[in-house]
Structure 1
Amino acid sequence: MLQNINKGMRLGSINGLRFKQLKLVILAFFILFLLWKWEKGTYYDSGILQPDPLVLTNPANSKFVDQHTSSEEDFPNADPLPQSVVKVEKQVTGAPRPLTMVGYSVDVADEKELPPPEKKECNYRNGKWVSDNRKPLYSGFGCKQWLSESWSCRLTQRTDFAYEKFRWQPEACEMPEFEASQFLRRMQDKTIAYVGDSLGRQMFQSMMCMVTGGKQRPDVEDVGAEYGFVLALGAKRPDGWAYRFPSTNTTILYHWSSTLCDLEPLNPSDHATSYAMHLDRPPAFLKNNLHRFHVLILNTGHHWNRGKLRANKWEMYLGGAPNNNWNIAVIWKAKNFTIHSVIKWLDAQLPHHPQLKVFYRSISPRHFFNGDWNTGGRCDNTNPLAKGSGIRLNHSEDTDAEGAVRGTRIRLLDVTALSRLRDEGHISRYSIMATPGVQDCLHWCLPGVPDTWNEILAAQL
């Protein structure tokens, strides 16, 4: 019996030891499991890491609601829209799709502050036109101090002005409203320069009307003489205009340079002389005044045709001599070469002018239907957004402009696709100077589409 008791005690001791060992093994596994989960980031103290709140804005809940609808009229193939243009968007009234919450994980041992999420830059290219009864920003009747009569469609026989009542809404962000006094304060002691063709001049006049609200401003100073803008003998207009707002010392100017080439008279003593069109030289005005600018907006495009070159007596030059490169002599290639040349030059100058921001504005689309400007082409549609209201593109429609700024510090002001939807906004047959059978389907009524170009510019400043 004693042997049985001793045997039982030994077995109990062994079993107790095994139980303790089993407990230790289980505890060890449990600790290892906790450590593994900790490394994976499954468990964390909410006081150490809080996921950032996700702020979402549904376009349907925006303070502006697109109430505009339009018929999907198909126009002839004279001005086809790319397949990427989105047709008129209908309001969705159903429940929103589920949202995904994105959090951030950090090493708990690292006590450094969690960096804020990178702010995604607004892409103003994609979005839609929406109706807005608060538009326009100024009256075409009132802005006579700055606006050419031929571009003020309110002064013509035109009777429909629905084109004035739209604003551009970017796809993934809200574009700030343009407020004139605030803009001038932001541009205090700064000079804004538009350099380009007549579409650049429209943008300049648009900005002058926007910052004055279309009101007479006798306090605004004409400082054109400071930039050499004087009326030459026999000229219809000077090479530009410049105005200064004394309250903020803000200067806004425009210089005519339709091709962004340096033009040099071959025989300065002859009024009928031809001009060297230096494809590889920026305009002398830019070289002489770049240090005075804080914002520079460039554009070119519609003057690049044989008719314009012949009429203006422009001869292509390269390397200071007549161009013998027949590959570059092709008009569209010469234009592309010039755009790349001036952008490259500006990009090299920017380190020496840290105050300067440069924008290259993409080409403004023409809207001639059933012919061209001289063959009966028309743009007398008055139905806004007849081709659609929205744009969703991965690249600019102006591939030359996009390619020229790629890899540089010059920013693309991409307005081509969004403007292509606004064929009803042209001067059309209502131009004061229009001759019978000729319509202006290149320039825009003001107020109108170029105001949006300036709003996008102001938003990026």
Structure 2
Amino acid sequence: MCCSFNATLMLEMLRGKRMLFVGDQLNRGQYLSLICMLHRAIPDGAKSFESVDSLSIFRAKNYDATIEFYWAPMLAETNFDNAVVDRVEDRVIRGAPMDKHSRFWKGAHILVFNSYLWWMTGQKIQILRGADNDMSKDIVEMDAEEAYRLVLYQVVRWVEHNVDPKNSRVFFVTASPTHTDSREWGDNETEGGNCYDRTSPISEAEASYSTSRRAMLRVTGEVLAESRVPVGVVNVTRLSEYRADAHTKTYKKLWAEPTPEQRADPRSYADCTHWCLPGVPDTWNELLYWKLFFPANDQVL
């Protein structure tokens, strides 16, 4: 590798540009990580942050640049885009069109998509066919992988019609793994074990496991490979699978205070999905940085 992450260089390369992350809370974690990595290179009076509904915007004023995040956990429109009122069993996804979300994506010079976690709630997904605004009509049930494929194809078609590869770049970040069952990395002695109290990465001896659904990863690769506009894949899955020690565990802010019973057994409410900052998402951003500014060195990633 020729050089490490350089915040000043990245800001200079983003001068006059709009960088947009689109996806779920893991993508938002990567977005916030990047802001943390950049903000120290910007004087206090020359930066700002605002969040309105689904869109968050960080401005580097001296560079006339914005780094933004748009909340769309499954990329397509759903009836639970407000996660606070989400009920898993009632989820319905619109297969097409994508206008509700994608109108916010237009004009971005760098697009960074992700979508995986919210597809892992079951084997079946409800899809609304057609353009009718009534979310109760023409609903079909599909296997999660095929529904995921359908939505990714919609994203690719949008990219092909709205992104000029001469002026813009598109990336897709692969699955962020969870560590909710310690048996998956060979710990068969801890009943109900998860990432709680893990203080070191998973070793090579333990590393034959995988918590990520490989069928979903295959769908991602197959669909993105067919895009007529190049989509750079930032593969964070395997390297993150080692990091059972890097989650927020009991330090995530919860909707409600843990009960006495939960506090007596911290494993019962340990967050083994989201990542600490600084932490693993910083590494994701270093990979993105390399792919964005040093694409000729992709072979070392």
TM-score scaled by structure 2? Answer: 0.73
**Residue 168 of structure 2 corresponds to residue 356 of structure 1:** yes
Contact 2:55 2:71 in 1 (8 A): yes
**Counterpart secondary structure, 2:93:** strand
The structure richer in helix per residue is: 2
Equivalent residue for 2:159, pick from 341, 346, 352: 346
Percent same amino acid among aligned pairs? 24
Give, as a single letter, the amino acid of the residue that structure 2 aligns with 1:410: V
Aligned mates of 1:214, 1:402 — CA distance in 2: 35
The runs of at least 4 consecutive aligned structure 1 residues that moved more than 4 Å come to 323-326, 388-391
The question of whether the paired residues in 2 share the 8 Å contact of 1:278 and 1:317 is answered with: yes
Instruction: Find out whether 1:284 has 2:105 as its counterpart.
Output: no
Structure 1 residues 248-301: Cα deviation after superposition (integer angstroms, max 9, x where no partner): 111001011010012479xxxxx99x886312333523234412x110001111
**Secondary structure at the counterpart of residue 272 of structure 2:** strand
Distance 1:425 1:316 in 2: 35
- Greater fraction of residues in strand: 2
2:113 is matched with: 298
Instruction: State whether residues 240 and 253 of structure 1, in contact with CA within 8 Å, keep that contact through their aligned partners in structure 2.
Output: yes
What is the CA deviation profile of residues 36-86 of structure 1, one whole-angstrom value per residue up to 9, with x for unaligned ones?
A: xxxxxxxxxxxxxxxxxxxxxxxxxxxxxxxxxxxxxxxxxxxxxxxxxxx
Alpha-carbon distance in structure 2 between the residues aligned to 1:444 and 1:379: 11
Where 1:244 maps in the other structure, the secondary structure is strand
- The alignment status of 1:317 with 2:128, answered yes or no, reads yes
The answer to whether residue 4 in structure 2 is matched with residue 177 in structure 1 is yes
Any conservation in 2 of the 1:280–1:342 contact (CA below 8 Å)?
A: no
Q: Distance in 1 between matches of 2:23 and 2:275?
A: 16
C-alpha distance in 2 between matches for 1:379 and 1:358: 33
Encode CA deviations 1:318-347: one digit per residue, 9 max, x unaligned. 222544544xx2233212221222123213
Q: State the distance in 2 between where 1:188 and 1:214 align.
A: 14
Q: Does 1:207 align with 2:34?
A: yes
Residue 386 (str. 1) matches residue 203 (str. 2): yes
Q: Which of 277, 290, 293 is residue 459 of structure 1 equivalent to?
A: 290
Q: Partner of 2:226 in structure 1? A: 407
Residue identity in the other structure for 2:127? M
CA contact (8 A) 2:24 2:115 kept: yes
Query: Partner letter of residue 34 of structure 2?
Result: M
Q: What is aligned with 2:177?
A: 365
Q: Which of these residues, 70, 86, 96, is aligned with residue 255 of structure 1? A: 70
- The reply to whether residue 219 of structure 1 matches residue 46 of structure 2 is yes
The number of residues matched between the two structures is 255
Partner of 2:244: 423
Unaligned runs of 5+ in 1: 1-173, 231-237, 266-270
Distance 1:399 1:371 in 2: 24
With over 3 angstroms needed to count, the CA separation of the structure-2 counterparts of 1:201 and 1:247, relative to structure 1, is same
Contact 1:280 1:341 (C-alpha < 8 Å) held by counterparts = yes
Taking structure 1 as reference, are residues 262 and 184 closer, same or farther at Cα in structure 2, changes over 3 Å only? same
How far 1:350 moved relative to its partner? 2.6
8 A contact 2:145–2:219 mirrored in 1: no
- Structure 2 distance, partners of 1:389, 1:282, is 42
Relative to structure 1, the CA distance from residue 429 to residue 214 in structure 2 (aligned partners, 3 Å threshold; closer, same or farther) is farther
Normalising by structure 1, we get a TM-score of: 0.49
Matched to 2:172, the amino acid is Y
